[in-house]
Structure 1
Amino acid sequence: MSFIKFNKLWFVLILIAAIFSALYLYYTLFPGNISHEVYRHFSPLEISKAQKYHRINRLIYITSFLTKASFLIWFVFGNNALKLSHYIENTASGKYYLNVFLYFIALWVIVRLISLPFSLLSHSVQVEWGFSVQTMASWWSDYFKSATLDFVFSAVGVLLFFVAINSWPKTWWIKATIFLTIIMFVQIFVYPTFIAPLFNNFTPIHDPKIINMVKEISKNAGIKIDRIQEMDASKRTTLANAYFYGFGNTSRIVLYDTLLKHYPDDEIKAVIAHEAGHWKENHVLKGMIIGILGLILGLYLLNILIYSSVLITYGKRMTPAVMAMIYLFVLLINFDTNPIQNYISRQMEKQADLLSVKYIHDKNAVIKLQIELAKKSLLDVDPPPFIEWFSYSHPSTMHRIELVQKANVK
């Protein structure tokens, strides 16, 4: 007998993932026709190259997901998760929390090893297409740094979970929500100071030209932009980007050095204006609040799943094998809610695009930026509607151009 009951909730989660996977794979292989409007801005060769590049990346993504999901479904419902728990229990000499920790290590290593070939393949694609300049030594250095951070934080999280569920069986998910909400807010202060500098150098921008742009945009936006930094992205990539991070006193705009070096002033100004739009609208804070609501719902659903489908325990305590079930649940729920998460993100990006036009009073610069970014980054400017709906955190290039063209400039 399996330690997990395959109930209706599991059926729904897996069915949704299967439908989305099938549609994603179909539209990756058969993307359909391109709108004639696209050819006003991009050549057939540019469109063809971008489609080929994204077909490769999408196949890697969906194959990676299906491989991990298939393994975890087999591992959980094939009783193999419980077998591993029994084996480790003998090694741990009956010490419960040592058993939990050893089980975590084993499962973490297994999942990492499953994901590793896809990560390596994705890196090789970026190198082949000229977007990554990282050597394998540099890539492995980044990989081990991120893996170490993931291991430490995940190990602490797992141990706290088992302490909570064994101490407060009925209310653990409420306490977990409170704890994780605090962690999310603490992360806003910790990430830029301790985590991000492990991977990149961040320096304040003193270029008078950029400072003047920031002053003008700050005035037009009615906000005080007092933190704008340059990140040395060029040691890894040729791609240009920028992002807004934080809220309140932690707010900052980060520009890739590849953007500052290879894009004209009017387009850099459009990027800063876009990020200022995120700043003005407190999108990070709003995103966190939405994330907390999602966290509450997710933990409540996980609580229902645990007590409706776990058939075997560890004496009076939760079996460590439930960890594999949680891995499967997190993988499925993140995949199944992709359209919701990305819809929210796209709405914020649309708002920032419209505000960027308002702040610089120049539609042409914003449109020119989108075209330039698409050409240099090989963006799929007119993806199949399902692909955009399911997986795009930003509107597609053509949708962004159409949005800006319709904007009122005052």
Structure 2
Amino acid sequence: MEPIFTPEQLAEIKAYYLPHYIRSAVNPFVSLGVLALLLWVLNRPFYQGAQALASRLGQRFAFLRTAPVSRVLLRALDRLWGEPGWGAALLFALFLDVFSKVLYAPSDVYFDYVLEHRHGMSAYTPLTYAWDTLKSWGLSAVAAVTLVLGLYGLARRLPRWWLVLGVPVAGLMLVSSALDPYRSQVYFEQTPLEAGPLRTRIGELMARADIAFADVLVEKTSVASKRVQAYFAGQGPTRTIVLNDVLLKEFTEEEVLAAVAHEAGHVNEPKWAGRIAAALCLIALLFLIDRLLRRSATRGWFGTTRFADIRTLPLLSVLFFFLMLTAKPVSAAFSREREREADRYALRLTGDPATFRRMLVKAARVNKMDPEPPRWVILKGMSHPPVSERIAAVFAP
């Protein structure tokens, strides 16, 4: 049977992944070092700098306190925060966020741009890469501001803030997947798949699977990457089948259908139990944060003078770091099993193992998948089984 890679291709893949594996091994220690730096070295100067800048900006833009529209917003922020200082808190959070982004920028540029170009996986120009990076930084800054106002603002005002915040956010988590078709459009243009044999055959395949969908879209990711990709986005009336333009260029119609059949295998997975568990875990996490903030205020950690002092923000990052470090291997193990079941579903749906194998082999070649990654890499958090395992399972009894 046709091998997945030639020796030359395999050598290039190993050279491509070696830096990634090195980064994966050292990254937890680097992250801990950065968090320690933010907590015990930069916390005070960043906080003092944020206070000074907030004071200057408050004087410079004092007229906004009396302007018809802005005064309403500023008064609302004052009431939410409960005392002066929300401006310094927002700036402190932005200082932390920007510092981390700038610190990791050289590594990000190397792995996301230089290494990708070196191995022919990226179509980014310097300008488009910079633009997408700025968009990512902007979304991160919005998230930081939202965290400060939502979490710290409510914590300062309400005794059971973790419940007041956790219940509606948990509810939003249960339905947020309906918004999935619109999130990726921040980065890539999407257009409907033109009418023709492929669109008709996808509709027939989904009819056999008894899966309703709103549309089939082509995502133009070739402006950034040369990888193939297909996925389902949304739920119910927003469910959309998304195929990237690289997939349509590299795969035959039969191979595209095999990829869609695999993604269809994820549609009927039991999701509600996991979503409910995630929502409950969120509420438990917020309660844990409440306990941590109260302990910080009692002990005066990092110069804190009251409950929900913004100077504890890096401490929350430490908490998230350890939670993710322990949770990711577990969630990845479940994810790998779901991928295996989606492969089995696709084989039952299409009844064409030869085409499904060709699809996996071609995806492995185009995306430069390591057929046999180190075991520790798999256990640490790979969401898919190694492609060699998936290919071997196609004709397994």
* TM-score normalised to structure 2 length: 0.84
**SS of structure 2 residue aligned to 1:230:** strand
1:309 to partner: Cα distance: 4.8
Hey, what's the Cα distance between the residues in 2 that align with 1:229 and 1:80?
A: 46
2:169 pairs with one of 172, 177, 180: 180
| Residues 192 and 218 in structure 2, CA contact (< 8 A), matched pair in contact too | yes
Name 2:79's counterpart in structure 1.
Answer: none
Structure 2 residue corresponding to 1:85, chosen from 38, 42, 47: 47
Which residue of structure 2 lines up, in the alignment, with residue 192 of structure 1? Answer: 181
Q: Which moved more, 1:264-273 or 1:146-155?
A: 146-155
CA RMSD of aligned residues (A): 2.6
Q: Describe the superposition over 1:326-353 as per-residue Cα deviations: whole angstroms up to 9, x where unpaired.
A: 1222233223321022122222212211
Moved more, 130-139 or 112-121: 112-121
Equivalent-residue separation in structure 1 for 2:248 and 2:320 (angstroms): 38
1:371 has 2:333 as partner:
no
CA deviation after TM superposition for structure 1 residue 355, in Å? 0.9
**Secondary structure at 1:179 match in 2:** helix
Determine the C-alpha separation between the residues in 1 that align with 2:84 and 2:304. Answer: 11
Aligned pair count?
A: 366
Partner of 2:151: 161
Residue ranges of structure 2 left out of the alignment (5+ in a row): 56-82
TM-superposed CA distance for 1:296, in Å, is 3.2
Task: Give the structure 2 partner of residue 221 of structure 1.
Answer: 209
1:120 counterpart = 2:109: yes
Q: Cα distance 1:52–1:184, how it changes in 2: closer, same or farther (>3 A)?
A: same
Closer/same/farther in 2, CA of residues 44 and 205 from structure 1, 3 Å limit: same
Deviation readout 1:91-114 (Å, 9 max, x if unpaired): 545932122112112111111111
- Residue matched to 1:291: 278
The runs of 5 or more residues in structure 1 that have no matched partner are 1-36
How many Å separate the matches in 1 of 2:29 and 2:191? Answer: 40
Greater C-alpha Rg: 2
**How much has 1:294 moved relative to structure 2?**
3.7
CA distance 1:320–1:190, change in 2 (3 Å): same
Higher relative contact order (CA 8 A, sep 6+): 1
Deviation string, structure 1 residues 110-168 (Cα, Å, up to 9, x no partner): 11111211211112111111010110100011111121122123202221111121123
Preserved contact between residue 260 and residue 268 of structure 1 (Cα < 8 Å): yes
The answer to whether residue 267 in structure 2 is matched with residue 305 in structure 1 is no
Separation in 1, partners of 2:11, 2:281: 38
Instruction: Provide closer, same or farther for how the CA distance between residues 326 and 196 of structure 1 changes in structure 2, counting only shifts above 3 A.
Output: same
Using structure 1 for the length normalisation, give the TM-score: 0.81
* % identical aligned pairs: 22
- Describe the shift of the 1:362–1:286 C-alpha distance in structure 2 as closer, same or farther (beyond 3 A): farther
**Residues 346 and 393 in structure 1, CA contact (< 8 A), matched pair in contact too:** yes
> 1:301 and 1:401, CA in 2 relative to 1: closer, same or farther beyond 3 A?
farther
Matches within 5 A, 1:6-405: 40-76=3-39, 78=40, 80-89=42-51, 91-92=53-54, 95-122=84-111, 123-169=113-159, 171-185=160-174, 187-193=176-182, 195-281=183-269, 288-309=275-296, 311-312=299-300, 314-405=304-395
